Amino acid sequence: MPRQTRKNTRFTGVYVVDLSSGDQTFFIRYKRDGKLIEERAGRKKQGMTGAKANQLRADRMSGKLENNAEKRARLLSQAGRLRINGLWKEYLRIKGNHLKGLRTDENRYKNYLSKPFGRKFPDDLFPLDIDRLESEVS
């Protein structure tokens, strides 16, 4: 595989690599906590430009956005956790046949809880979310 040749852009810390397919890939380099980080920002075919890559670099340097390694670590830590939908399925699996008001519970979950809370983790629920649900139901 031939060595990639980088071309500087007019933005500091943003580089372009020409690919054999004719596309271009933008890379960003920045320092965060004294550590040099280099990561791929995106391809030109996907809509990435030098200015967008520079904005991404600025956001990553300031800490507004997490870098790829931090994002990957966060997703791996959440891999074993259940969302509200998963908790509901576990509840049904454990209590399913022995629950007297199963149909009522299913309807309540489907009508009121699945849309606003289904994809959230239990840690991400705030009292304000529950207050909103109470005001919508009443």
Q: At 137, is the secondary structure helix, strand, or coil? A: helix
Asked whether residue 112 is assigned to any structural domain, the reply reads yes
Same-domain status, 63 and 123: no
Burial of 31 by CB count in 10 Å (0-12 exposed, 13-18 middle, 19+ buried)? exposed
Mean pLDDT confidence for 72-95: 84
* 68 contact partners, CB below 8 Å, separation of at least 6: 39
Under the banding of pLDDT at 50, 70 and 90, the label for residue 53 is very high
Asked whether residue 1 is assigned to any structural domain, the reply reads no
Give me the chain's average pLDDT, please: 88
- CA distances from residue 26 to 30, 34, 57 in whole angstroms, order as listed: 14, 23, 11
| Residue indicated by tokens 């966060």 | 74
> What is the domain count for the chain?
2
CA atoms in the 13 A half-sphere facing the CB of 115: 7
Same-domain status, 56 and 119: no
pLDDT at 96 over 60: yes
Percent of the chain with pLDDT over 70: 98
Per-residue model confidence (pLDDT) at position 1: 53
102 is in which domain, residue-wise? 84-137
